[in-house]
Structure 1
C-alpha cells in the first residue's frame, strides 16, 4: 500500500506494461504484414483454357447431305412419275434380257445366304 501513496506503480504493473507492449507489437506486426500483402502483387491463378470446336466446310456439307437423306423417302418420285406416264402411253420398253439377269442375281443372292 505504501507504493500507491508515493505514486509508484504496483509490483505487478510491470507485467501489465509488458503485456500491453507485446499485444501492441503483435498488432503492429499484423498491420505490417497486411500492408505488405496488399502491396505485393498477388500470384494470379492460371487462366483456364477455353475449349473450342471448329467445323470444316466439308463436315458442314456432309451434315446438310445427311439431313437431306434423312428427310427423303428414298424414292425418286420424279422417276416413278416418268415410268407411270410411259406405261400409260404404251411407250415403256421392258428389256427382257436385263430383267432375266437381275432375277437370276437376286435368286443367287437368296440361295447363297441360306
Structure 2
C-alpha cells in the first residue's frame, strides 16, 4: 500500500539542527526573562484582602456582645440547680416573646 500526496508531493526539507537549537535557546531565554519579570512584579504588589458577608458581620457582633455582657453567677448557679432537680418551669409565651425580641435586635426588624 502506498500513500500519495504527502507534503503535497514536495520533498521534505532537511532539519537545520543549529537553527533549531538557536530557536529553542531563544524560547527558553524568553520564558526565563518573562518568569523573572512576573516574579518581581508580584513580589512588590502582593496584597491580601478579606471581605465578610453580612451574616459573618452579624455573628461577629453577637460574639462581641456576648463577651462584653456581665454574668450573674449566682443566678446561673441557681438555675443549674433547678434544672438538675427538675424544678425549673419554662413559660412558653415569655420564651417566644424573648426569642422574637432577640431576632429583631439581631436582624434589625420590628417585633
| Greater RCO (Cα-Cα under 8 Å, separation 6 or more) | 2
Pairwise same-fold verdict (TM > 0.5):
no
TM-score (norm 1): 0.37
